Chains A and B, each alone.
Chain A
Amino acid sequence: MKPKLTFRTVAMWLILAATALFLVNAFLSDPALFIQQVINGLAQGAIFALVALGYTMVYGIIELINFAHGDVYMVGAFIGLTIASLLGASEKSDSTHSIITLALMFITAPVICATLNVTIERLAYRPLRNAPRIAALITAIGMSFMLEQVGLWWAGIPSDVLSYFGGSAATPKAFPALIPKINLLANTGININLAPKQVFALAMAIPLMIALRLFVQRTRLGKAMRSTAQNRDAARLMGINIDGVISLTFLLGGALAGVGGVAGGLYFEGVQWNMGFDMGLKAFTAAVLGGIGNITGAMLGGFFIGLVSALSDQYLAGQWTRAVVFGLLVLVLVFKPTGLLGTGVQQKA
């Protein structure tokens, strides 16, 4: 069928053409700078994508915007910070010390975050599964606030963990840079700075995403997840344990948010009690951009948002990035409400 030439399509193509022109111009005027921003964008996009996966899986299966998910990410970052300070690891630690600390962080944070996410689902969302969706949404906002309170109390350093009665720990905390700060391309003559933490973020995220995709597409449990997302009642009639599958979804999402939290702490070199809110908004935007409920879409959406943020930081101005990201979200939803990869899923009111 020939697509109709409406105002909508014309406007869409005009916007796309203008963006493409802008990017080509940016690339031609300074290729190294452009590639640098692309690397920055992909690295932070990997972290957005890890968090976005949790949003998209939960939305796909119970149609809830899990507002608390960004705060689970924040808890993950705090767990990483606490382990680092428990083990006394810092920038100056030798490589064995750093590697052990990193390994412990990446085991503990996902486990605790997964448990936390499953507990939240069990206590707060499951009783409301058949209630109107706005009730579950408000409960999710409530959970988000409660986790932020935990972040406010949590100074990250053991001696301060229990100091909450007297004061709060609202100040941002530095995350020890356990990954050496060097330039991997220093001696190659290329004028691009490739930091090990950027490689690390990508090397952490991409295998996990591939594993998740394989899990969902190839295993029996993955099949159960997909069928539950498609039609919960039919899946139940087919003998699928719905509660178990939903718990599993929250478990996977929480674990990925935990990994994302530690990776984000290492990448952005800081943690703060309300960092989950901003990350949540960006990751959710990524999930919607990719087509909510679509796992591959969330990954691509994450990278896309990362790229857009980095390019906007460089070529527009840092203070406009937020508006650019959300403007993009609005444009995508207005022109293609199902997201970039979304199939023609019926919008449920």
Chain B
Amino acid sequence: MVRQWNVNRIGQQLAKHWKLVIIGILIAIYPFIDSFLQQISNYAVGGYTGSLVTVLMYAMLALGLNIVVGYAGLLDLGYAAFFAIGAYAMTLLTTPHPPWGVGFPFPINYFWIAMLLAAMIAMISGVVLGSPTIPLRGDYLAIVTLGFGEIVPVLFRNLTCVTIPFLNINCLDLTAGERGVSLIALPTIPGIGTFNKIDLAPWYWLALLIILAAIFFNRRLEDSRLGRAWMAMREDEEAAASMGVDIVRTKLLAFAMGAAFSGFAGAYFASYIQAVFPSSFDFTVSVTVLCAVVLGGSGNPYGAILGGVMVAGIDRIGLTLLTGAAHNLGQFIPFLSGVDFNLWRYGLYGLALAIVMLVRPEGLIPSQARAREFHEGEELEDISGIAAAEETLQREGEAG
């Protein structure tokens, strides 16, 4: 049924969620707030737009991994592999100075096509790397993906002299190894201009746009036939298979979709950083994104965003702010004046992970269905499922 777009109804919804609307507007105009802060504080505060772009990138990655881990329940410890593939695809497709010499002859405004191509290449590699893992489950799957996550950066590091005798290719440098590749296409909007590395606000808005699109996809997938198949598979693979869910197809689609998101983020990252190195895609990235998804609440796109923003935001902005605060307090407590919390990064991060998991094993804002599963034993009085049924009815009433 086609949904009726009723202006009155939209107005009501906006009024009902006015807090969210205000937060949304604040997020959208943040670059202006940032420059305003910088001006009134004489550049003591502000200048976080660049860090926020990185934070948003982690949110993008978390949204992608949310499909694999959150919806389909496939524990992926090598998600950085697809991020790397997307970034390298973007780089090698658009740089005028690829390691092998002459770049591909493409028009200036090539960024968007390359981004789609990068996502597609990542998606294909998701299927390729996903296919051997089809019969595996749980921790075995996690270990194989971890293996792939370790192998892919090694490939990018070492494919500097490829010789294929049959094709008459002799010592072709594919990836430039540890030296990395730079000069990557910048996003261009026809009639407006090209992005640059001085004004970071357009990057910020582009990241926000990608995230909005990713949320939209996540939500649509969640309610789709495929999304329901993922969740059925997550809960019980045998039961799902016997109910007619094609496990192979469903699993591969989860890997492919997750990888495509990651490839998107990788392409964006490559263009934003303007240089790629194999060391940017190690296990830490995979673990950070996984922590973001689980911390925020597995299976809930908003949870994934919250987790990504927290995990990366604390690292990029939080620790610096905390150090500044400690130094200010150092006037009263001499002990604090020499503290640099950036050096405490690992300890604080680890502590935060452990505490969140011990206090809320289901994550900060889990999806409602998952939250119930996590507290199964505690809801013994609700054997008949009356409360759950009521809740569903109520939600349906609201939606329809």
Contact = CB atoms under 8 A, between A and B. Distances in A.
Interface of A: 59, 63, 65, 124, 127-128, 130-139, 141-150, 152, 164-168, 277, 281, 284-285, 288, 292, 317, 319-320, 322-323, 326-327, 329-330, 333-334, 337, 347-349
A349 B73 CA distance: 10
Interface string B353-384: 11001100110000000000010010000000
Contacts of B290: 138
Given A167-B343, A323-B158, A65 B294 contact: no
Contacts of B349: 142, 145
A319 B147 contact: no
21 contacts: A134-B69, A135-B294, A137-B75, A138-B357, A139-B357, A142-B350, A142-B351, A142-B352, A145-B349, A146-B346, A146-B354, A149-B346, A165-B338, A285-B143, A288-B140, A322-B150, A326-B147, A326-B154, A333-B143, A333-B147, A349-B236
Contacts of B137: 347-349
Nearest to B377: A130
Interface centre among A139, A145, A164 (most CB of B within 10 A): A145
B332 interface: no
A134 to B, nearest CB: 6
Given A134-B294, A277-B283, A143 B350 contact: yes
A148 B291 CA distance: 17
A152 B346 contact: yes
Contacts of A322: 150-151, 154
Nearest to A130: B377
Contacts of B325: none
Contacts of A277: 283
Interface of A: prevailing SS? helix
Contacts of A320: 154, 158
Interface in B65-111: 69, 75
Given A65-B142, A139-B354, A337-B140, 12 more contacts: A127-B358, A133-B138, A135-B357, A136-B357, A142-B352, A143-B354, A288-B143, A329-B144, A334-B133, A347-B136, A349-B137, A349-B138
B92 to A, nearest CB: 20
A149 B140 contact: no
Nearest to B336: A165
B281 interface: no
B354 A347 contact: no
A80 to B, nearest CB: 22
B358 A124 contact: yes
A131 B354 contact: no
Interface in B310-347: 338-340, 343-347
Interface of B: 69, 75, 132-133, 135-140, 142-144, 146-148, 150-151, 154-155, 157-158, 236-237, 283, 287, 290-291, 294-295, 298, 338-340, 343-347, 349-354, 357-358, 361-362, 374, 377
Contacts of A135: 294, 357, 361-362
B344 A149 contact: yes
A166 B339 CA distance: 7
B144 A333 contact: yes
B151 A138 contact: no
A349 B237 CA distance: 9
A278 B349 CA distance: 20
Given A131-B361, A141-B353, A326 B151 contact: yes
B347 A327 contact: no
A142 B357 contact: yes
Contact of B139 (A63, A127, A152, A329): A63
B103 to A, nearest CB: 26
Contacts of A133: 138-139
B351 A138 contact: no
A145 B140 CA distance: 23
Contacts of A138: 290-291, 294-295, 353, 357
B69 to A, nearest CB: 8
Contacts of B287: 141
A305 to B, nearest CB: 13
Contacts of A326: 146-148, 150-151, 154
A305 B5 CA distance: 62
A330 B148 contact: yes
Nearest to A166: B338
B346 A128 contact: no
B361 A145 contact: no
Contacts of A136: 357
A137 B353 CA distance: 10
Nearest to B347: A149
Contacts of A284: 143
Nearest to A142: B353
A131 B294 CA distance: 13
